Amino acid sequence: MKNSVLLIAVFLLMGSCASIFGDRVKEPFTGNSYESNARFFRGVGKGESTSDNVAKAKADLEAKAELAGQMNTTMKQVADQYLGQTANEKGADVSDKFQSLVRQVMNTDIADLRKLGEKKYYDKAKDKYTVFIAYEIKKNAMFRFLKKQAKTDQTINERQQELIQKILDEELKKAGDD
């Protein structure tokens, strides 16, 4: 009986502590369907402004920046992992070329970018628009695009070309090349 009363008191105390943070808000494009996984890079952005166009541009930029950050992190991990396996004197050069290729691709075009959704809200009291945008990129499409770009890059020699193609082929297998 004493344990039951103590247990109830703990739950009541925990419930009252949660309110110090405010009410929990569920924003659009949250949950597993909008998170990156083995097959997709996904990013969600939120923008607020008194102008609907500015709010949309902010949301768009934030979502794309999230995607670019994920891809950059993935590519660095792939290059580092490969270098750890090969451990040769040309490894650093391959890594630099590979990361340079990734930056070049991300700066020019993000392959197979798909908009999952966009939602716009207007708050009359604050005269403010809030826009949410969600994007995804199929990983295998991105890796195939990188392979194509690597083949046309004149700064990459034949040996480096082979190594980069091997790295990308391994990633395509992981992403479920279909």
- Predicted confidence at residue 99, as pLDDT, reads 66
Instruction: For residues 7 and 4, give the distance between their C-alpha atoms in angstroms, rounded to a whole number.
Output: 5
Segment 32-74, tens digit of pLDDT:
999 999 899 999 999 999 999 999 999 999 999 898 888 777 7
The whole-model pTM stands at 0.71
CA 149 to CA 76: how far, in whole Å?
A: 17
- CB of 61 closer than 8 Å to CB of 45: yes
Tokens found for residue 118: 């966009």
Q: Which residue ranges form the domains of the chain, and what is each CATH number?
A: 28-175 (3.10.129)
Interatomic CA distance for residues 67 and 29, integer angstroms: 15
Residue 85 or residue 108, greater confidence = 85
Give me the DSSP letters along 14-51.
Answer: HHHHHGGG------SS-SGGGS--SSEEEEEEEEEESS
CA separation for the pair 2, 16 (Å, rounded): 21
